[in-house]
Chains A and B, each alone.
Chain A
Amino acid sequence: MIQYSGLSEINGPLVCLQGVNNASFDEIAELTLDDGTKRLGRVVEMQGDKVVLQIFEGTNGISLKNTRTKFSGKPLEIPLSVEMLGRTFNGAGRPIDGLGDVFPEKYGDINGRSLNPVARTYPRNYIHTGISSIDALMTLIRGQKLPIFSGSGLSHNKLAVQIVRQAKIADSEGKDFAVVFAAMGVQNDVANYFRRSFEEAGVIKNVSMFLNLSSDPIIERILTPRCALTLAEYLAFEKGMHILVIMTDLTSYCEALREFSSSKGEIPGRKGYPGYLYSDLASMYERAGVVEGSKGSVTQIPILTMPNDDITHPIPDLTAYITEGQIVFDRNLDQTGIYPGLSVLLSLSRLMKDGIGAEYTRADHSDVANQLFSCYARVQDARALASVIGEDELSASDKAIMRFGDLFEKHFLNQGFEENRSLDETFELAWQLLSTLPRSELDRLSDDLIDEFYDSEKAKRFM
């Protein structure tokens, strides 16, 4: 095999070689340094006999003459096996738990391929999370991609752990349920928190972790979610398992992409992020789903921290254009001690409308959810008015709405980290809260439903 010695240029994570004649676009090259250490690079541009490589482990210590480069002829592949559950890998998919190499059943190209929309099955089965706000108002569907938009210091990690723990219990096919966890640029503490929580919940045997910590090289960070998703797709579509992929933190990922893009000298789009950020994010998020001919599914919960809590920042904005809804944290609610402090009005599950109702959850699910949304939207108006004219001046119906808002946040949104509410408990609570309002305020519910469930006696528990 031909080896090329030396390089012609080094620029950040990129190196150039000249005189190459057997490389192909996107393939992987291995660089051996004079001290014997090896690094991997990927072909990102070719011009004549000049090849540009991006080096995953960074270019520290590389000079123009101390390397020998070998081209593999293949795109980056990782070994795949069911045995990878319970194991820990670095961001590029190599084991770091000291248990040795994985014995592969096959190799998978980490870039994945585009799923043919004809081969997809529209996701309909809901995942019970035991968290009232999610189950009732932003229902998670198997095969969905539903990100958590959070901010620094909020309890998104806690919520993700709770979902993993409780979603498993609710699944009737428990043994086929597994979690693939990808950490991108997170602190060591956070990675440990997830590992410890998975251990305590007794699910660690069904979790495969890919860790790229904040001190690890940024190019490796770009590979991390792709390695994790390649494993997820393999387990779901070839082994028929239900896979929940948790990816945190997408903001670090996007920043790595920006750093890499600017070192390549690309023309930036908004806020310096590359113009292809949307396509790049889509190439990951679109790997969720259910396909025909397989009983497995890939469900994604990407977590991202909104810079400065700004939901219009390009990262959350582009993400929400691709994903099927979003779960948004609200700093004010979080600060008043409500867990999980979710912003109900900003949150949305797009697949919810087809995955709820008598067939999947409850017959009154859609109407009750709509009513809660519409009442809670009015709460915001009433509060805004109260802050101007004072609460005493409000009309009777505005006062009732304000009171509903407080109770809703305190009893419905707020729930313990250990508390796993059944669907009926959640809806019983919703009806109790709606019963605190006069019947005439319930404009989204049919009279039949109101007759069946509305009971002002129930509301007395909040007195």
Chain B
Amino acid sequence: MNKIYSINGPVIKVKDTKDFSMREMVYVGEKKLVGEVIGVTDELTTIQVYESTSGLSVGEMVEPTGSLMCATLGPGIISNIYDGIQRPLRAMTASGEIYVSEGSMIPSLDEQREFDVEITVKAGDKVSGGDIYATCPETPLIMHKCMIPPYLNGTVGSVRPNGKYKVTDIVVTVKADNGTVHELSLMQKWPIRNPRPISRRIPISKPLITGQRIIDTVCPIAKGGTAAIPGGFGTGKTVTQHQLAKWCDADIIVYIGCGERGNEMTQVLEEFSELIDPKSGRPLTDRTVLIANTSNMPVAAREASIYTGITLAEYYRDMGYHIAIMADSTSRWAEALREISGRLEEMPAEEGFPAYLPSRLAEFYERAGYVETLNKAEGSVTVIGAVSPQGSDFSEPVTQNTKRFVRCFWALDKSLAYARHYPAINWLQSYSEYSDDLKDYYTENVGEDFCDDRQEISTLLIEENNLMEIVKLIGADVLPDDQKLIIETAKVIRVGFLQQNAGHADDTYVPLKKQLLMMRAILKLYHKSLDAVNSGISINKILSSGLFDKVTKIKFEVPNSDLDKFDEYFAEIDDWFSKNA
């Protein structure tokens, strides 16, 4: 008799039962609300409920399901939008209902939709976990590969012919080595809190190309890497995440809106269905999955949304795809942990957050990686988490703990955002530990001088920062000409290179080759000017040439499709200095 004994917000307790196991999924009450067991003692079983508990009564039944909290994996995930526990939000509105309904039992995958399935095994084949037994085109961009569930080894029994099937249709049976027969449809389940198994990890060596100059050039992220974007409100976390979701060269994007604004998810939905991916010529929705658990949805489901998202990503990784996950924002997820922890009356650590916050963060970020899958393909999951520090104070627990588990840190800066310098990533506070791992890639594929140029650009920015300390005290006029030149060059770098206009047709995405040429143009101008200054020509004369303004505007003037135009700039710089110096 598993009856509810107590209710406190999203946390309910059941007394005197031994029927539940840890992390088991349960149905709560008459409305069959989805819940998960989070604590078991011989007296009380504690359950967190993923939906609003309004109207629930003591004495209603709790029904065990016997399985852990699972995600449903199969064709039909891409282009969909789910809530934190993978309920399809679009299907929910089909009846004209504008609110998220409770206890709704709509299946995660559209069970009516038919896919063109090609069976890739035949009777008698030996198969093991991860092997592909069927494929079907899920969207024009993504070929879905149905894989034998991990840990299952056996022999293929019966096989259905190629043809149109629904996700629930049984297409293959497998007789396991221990004699049990498994019927495989197009879908499978996987517990969201357990990482899916892999064959081995492969060292990181390829960048995730984003087309954002400050990221690709200054603080690159690798495929299979982890990055955090911390920033106070209004600094552009969400815009940066949107830009990455639009332009990065991953095969699939999983965008988790975790405790954020409803309108932002609507914007992603609208914008991504209109935007055409230049590489494939298809709308961005064809490669995107959205998990939307907005700030007004139940808090426990917000905690689950992160795991749901990464499980979906791992599933596609196992097919051999490269996935990028955007989690906006992990702070809201940490707050959900705190809220549940408070209701459980656990001993709080810093700022009321539970003591297990760091270990949960570590578990999440460690699910990223570049791997060899069970079926010997290469795939990766890249995790990019936004962090919303309270009061823009980076010393708060979520930012500090995240920093320990990510290798790339893009610090958003309020003062840059106030001056409308976007992306407002502070080049002095941000870092990437991937620069060295990716050095070979950049040298071979972009240009031999790429890494040296990047270093020189960074050095100029640091020198400018040091000089600005003096300028703030005594003004720029008293500096010697060579130092003035550093300040002027750094200005070109800041405005002409680091600033990037997401609304400009050419500037919103910049190929690596153009990034390199832009650096070359800036550095050529700097070197020529430095030689001129050293031979006694005044900085004011060089500035009056207008070359600095011209180089600053290269980002708008040279289209991505016509990089030969850079030669004109190089010639013009050479020309002016040969005449005047």
* Residues of A near any B CB (own CB < 8 A): 21-27, 45-49, 75, 111, 113-123, 143, 237, 266-270, 275-276, 278-279, 282-283, 285-287, 289, 291-293, 312-314, 317-318, 320-322, 324-326, 345-346, 348, 350-351, 353-354, 366, 370, 373-374, 377-378, 384-385, 388-389, 393-395, 440, 443-444
Please tell me if the beta carbons of B6 and A48 are within 8 angstroms of each other in the complex. Answer: yes
Please tell me if the beta carbons of B53 and A395 are within 8 angstroms of each other in the complex. Answer: no
Please tell me if the beta carbons of A116 and B93 are within 8 angstroms of each other in the complex. Answer: yes
Closest to B556 in A: A446
Please tell me if the beta carbons of B292 and A117 are within 8 angstroms of each other in the complex. Answer: yes
Question: Whole-angstrom distance from the CB of A405 to the nearest CB of chain B?
Answer: 14
Please tell me if the beta carbons of B296 and A115 are within 8 angstroms of each other in the complex. Answer: yes
The 5 A-B residue pairs whose C-beta atoms are closest, nearest first, are A282-B295, A312-B391, A47-B6, A377-B419, A286-B296
Q: Which residues of B contact A370 (CB under 8 A)?
A: 420
Question: Whole-angstrom distance from the CB of B362 to the nearest CB of chain A?
Answer: 22
Q: Which residues of A contact B269 (CB under 8 A)?
A: 117-118
**Beyond the given A121-B266, A267-B348, could you list 16 further A-B residue pairs with CB under 8 A, ordered by the A residue number?**
A25-B55, A25-B57, A45-B7, A45-B8, A47-B5, A115-B98, A116-B93, A119-B97, A120-B262, A120-B265, A122-B266, A283-B296, A326-B234, A374-B420, A384-B472, A440-B549
Question: Whole-angstrom distance from the CB of B299 to the nearest CB of chain A?
Answer: 5
Closest to B552 in A: A443
Please tell me if the beta carbons of B53 and A26 are within 8 angstroms of each other in the complex. Answer: yes
In the complex, A293 Cα to B81 Cα: how many Å?
A: 20
In the complex, A350 Cα to B296 Cα: how many Å?
A: 19
Closest to B81 in A: A118
Q: Which residues of A contact B92 (CB under 8 A)?
A: 116, 118
How many residues of chain B get a CB closer than 8 Å to chain A's CBs? 71
In the complex, A267 Cα to B96 Cα: how many Å?
A: 40
Please tell me if the beta carbons of B55 and A119 are within 8 angstroms of each other in the complex. Answer: no
In the complex, A282 Cα to B13 Cα: how many Å?
A: 27
CB of B223 within 8 Å of the partner chain: no
Q: Which residues of B contact A45 (CB under 8 A)?
A: 6-8
Please tell me if the beta carbons of A26 and B55 are within 8 angstroms of each other in the complex. Answer: yes
In the complex, A444 Cα to B499 Cα: how many Å?
A: 11
Question: Whole-angstrom distance from the CB of B390 to the nearest CB of chain A?
Answer: 6
* Residues of B near any A CB (own CB < 8 A): 5-8, 13, 15, 52-59, 81, 89-90, 92-93, 96-100, 232-234, 257, 259, 261-263, 265-267, 269-270, 292, 294-299, 332, 335, 338-339, 342, 345, 348, 351-352, 388, 390-393, 418-420, 472-477, 495, 503, 549, 552
Q: Which residues of B contact A351 (CB under 8 A)?
A: 263
Closest to B57 in A: A24
Closest to B343 in A: A266
Please tell me if the beta carbons of B342 and A24 are within 8 angstroms of each other in the complex. Answer: no
Please tell me if the beta carbons of A267 and B7 are within 8 angstroms of each other in the complex. Answer: no
Please tell me if the beta carbons of B475 and A269 are within 8 angstroms of each other in the complex. Answer: no
Question: Whole-angstrom distance from the CB of A106 to the nearest CB of chain B?
Answer: 15
In the complex, A123 Cα to B92 Cα: how many Å?
A: 22
Please tell me if the beta carbons of B475 and A116 are within 8 angstroms of each other in the complex. Answer: no
Q: Which residues of A contact B473 (CB under 8 A)?
A: 388-389
Pick the residue among B90, B233, B338, B352 that contacts A320 (CB under 8 A).
B233
Given contact pairs A286-B294, A291-B98, A389-B474, A115 touches B262 in the complex (Cβ within 8 A) = yes
Please tell me if the beta carbons of A276 and B7 are within 8 angstroms of each other in the complex. Answer: no
Q: Which residues of B contact A353 (CB under 8 A)?
A: 503
Q: Which residues of A contact B5 (CB under 8 A)?
A: 47-48
In the complex, A238 Cα to B399 Cα: how many Å?
A: 43
In the complex, A393 Cα to B473 Cα: how many Å?
A: 12
Please tell me if the beta carbons of B54 and A26 are within 8 angstroms of each other in the complex. Answer: yes
Please tell me if the beta carbons of B474 and A275 are within 8 angstroms of each other in the complex. Answer: no
Please tell me if the beta carbons of A279 and B299 are within 8 angstroms of each other in the complex. Answer: yes
Please tell me if the beta carbons of B472 and A385 are within 8 angstroms of each other in the complex. Answer: yes
Question: Whole-angstrom distance from the CB of A78 to the nearest CB of chain B?
Answer: 16
Please tell me if the beta carbons of A117 and B266 are within 8 angstroms of each other in the complex. Answer: yes
Closest to A45 in B: B8
Please tell me if the beta carbons of B234 and A48 are within 8 angstroms of each other in the complex. Answer: no
Please tell me if the beta carbons of B296 and A282 are within 8 angstroms of each other in the complex. Answer: yes
Please tell me if the beta carbons of B234 and A320 are within 8 angstroms of each other in the complex. Answer: yes
Q: Which residues of A contact B59 (CB under 8 A)?
A: 21
Given contact pairs A117-B266, A320-B234, A325-B234, A373 touches B419 in the complex (Cβ within 8 A) = yes
Q: Which residues of B contact A26 (CB under 8 A)?
A: 53-55
Grouping DSSP codes into helix (H, G, I), strand (E, B) and loop, the A interface class, with mixed when no group exceeds half, is mixed
In the complex, A388 Cα to B475 Cα: how many Å?
A: 9
Please tell me if the beta carbons of A324 and B98 are within 8 angstroms of each other in the complex. Answer: no
Please tell me if the beta carbons of B351 and A270 are within 8 angstroms of each other in the complex. Answer: yes
In the complex, A384 Cα to B468 Cα: how many Å?
A: 13
In the complex, A266 Cα to B56 Cα: how many Å?
A: 22
Q: Which residues of B contact A394 (CB under 8 A)?
A: 475
Pick the residue among A24, A275, A325 that contacts B55 (CB under 8 A).
A24
Of A269, A289, A318, most buried by chain B (CB within 10 Å of CB) is A269
Please tell me if the beta carbons of B98 and A393 are within 8 angstroms of each other in the complex. Answer: no
Please tell me if the beta carbons of B100 and A46 are within 8 angstroms of each other in the complex. Answer: no
Closest to B553 in A: A443
Given contact pairs A275-B342, A286-B296, A443-B495, A395 touches B262 in the complex (Cβ within 8 A) = no
In the complex, A378 Cα to B13 Cα: how many Å?
A: 58
In the complex, A119 Cα to B54 Cα: how many Å?
A: 23
Please tell me if the beta carbons of A116 and B261 are within 8 angstroms of each other in the complex. Answer: no
Q: Which residues of A contact B90 (CB under 8 A)?
A: 118
In the complex, A121 Cα to B98 Cα: how many Å?
A: 11
Please tell me if the beta carbons of A385 and B475 are within 8 angstroms of each other in the complex. Answer: yes
Q: Which residues of B contact A324 (CB under 8 A)?
A: 261, 263
Question: Whole-angstrom distance from the CB of A20 to the nearest CB of chain B?
Answer: 8
Please tell me if the beta carbons of B98 and A237 are within 8 angstroms of each other in the complex. Answer: yes
Q: Which residues of B contact A269 (CB under 8 A)?
A: 338, 351-352
In the complex, A322 Cα to B329 Cα: how many Å?
A: 12
Given contact pairs A114-B99, A291-B98, A389-B475, A267 touches B342 in the complex (Cβ within 8 A) = yes
Pick the residue among A312, A374, A388, A393 that contacts B419 (CB under 8 A).
A374
Q: Which residues of A contact B100 (CB under 8 A)?
A: 113-116
Pick the residue among B58, B339, B348, B390 that contacts A317 (CB under 8 A).
B390
Q: Which residues of B contact A23 (CB under 8 A)?
A: 57-58
Q: Which residues of A contact B342 (CB under 8 A)?
A: 266-267, 275-276
Of A45, A115, A289, most buried by chain B (CB within 10 Å of CB) is A115
Closest to A43 in B: B7
Q: Which residues of B contact A317 (CB under 8 A)?
A: 232-233, 390-392
Question: Whole-angstrom distance from the CB of B45 to the nearest CB of chain A?
Answer: 14
In the complex, A113 Cα to B332 Cα: how many Å?
A: 20
Q: Which residues of B contact A24 (CB under 8 A)?
A: 55-57
Q: Which residues of A contact B420 (CB under 8 A)?
A: 370, 373-374, 377, 444
Please tell me if the beta carbons of B472 and A275 are within 8 angstroms of each other in the complex. Answer: no
Please tell me if the beta carbons of A46 and B7 are within 8 angstroms of each other in the complex. Answer: yes
In the complex, A345 Cα to B7 Cα: how many Å?
A: 46
Question: Whole-angstrom distance from the CB of B384 to the nearest CB of chain A?
Answer: 19
Question: Whole-angstrom distance from the CB of A21 to the nearest CB of chain B?
Answer: 7
Q: Which residues of B contact A312 (CB under 8 A)?
A: 390-393
Of B52, B100, B263, B338, most buried by chain A (CB within 10 Å of CB) is B263
Please tell me if the beta carbons of A275 and B335 are within 8 angstroms of each other in the complex. Answer: yes
In the complex, A287 Cα to B294 Cα: how many Å?
A: 12
In the complex, A321 Cα to B230 Cα: how many Å?
A: 13
Q: Which residues of A contact B81 (CB under 8 A)?
A: 117-118
Question: Whole-angstrom distance from the CB of B539 to the nearest CB of chain A?
Answer: 13
Please tell me if the beta carbons of A25 and B265 are within 8 angstroms of each other in the complex. Answer: no
Please tell me if the beta carbons of B392 and A276 are within 8 angstroms of each other in the complex. Answer: no
In the complex, A393 Cα to B478 Cα: how many Å?
A: 11
A-B contact pairs, 20 of them (CB 8 A): A25-B53, A27-B55, A46-B57, A47-B8, A114-B99, A116-B99, A117-B257, A117-B294, A118-B266, A120-B262, A143-B263, A267-B342, A292-B98, A317-B390, A318-B390, A322-B295, A324-B261, A373-B418, A384-B472, A389-B473
Q: Which residues of A contact B233 (CB under 8 A)?
A: 317, 320-321, 326
Question: Whole-angstrom distance from the CB of A364 to the nearest CB of chain B?
Answer: 14
In the complex, A22 Cα to B233 Cα: how many Å?
A: 45
In the complex, A269 Cα to B354 Cα: how many Å?
A: 11
Given contact pairs A282-B296, A317-B233, A118 touches B93 in the complex (Cβ within 8 A) = yes
Of A122, A321, A325, A348, most buried by chain B (CB within 10 Å of CB) is A321
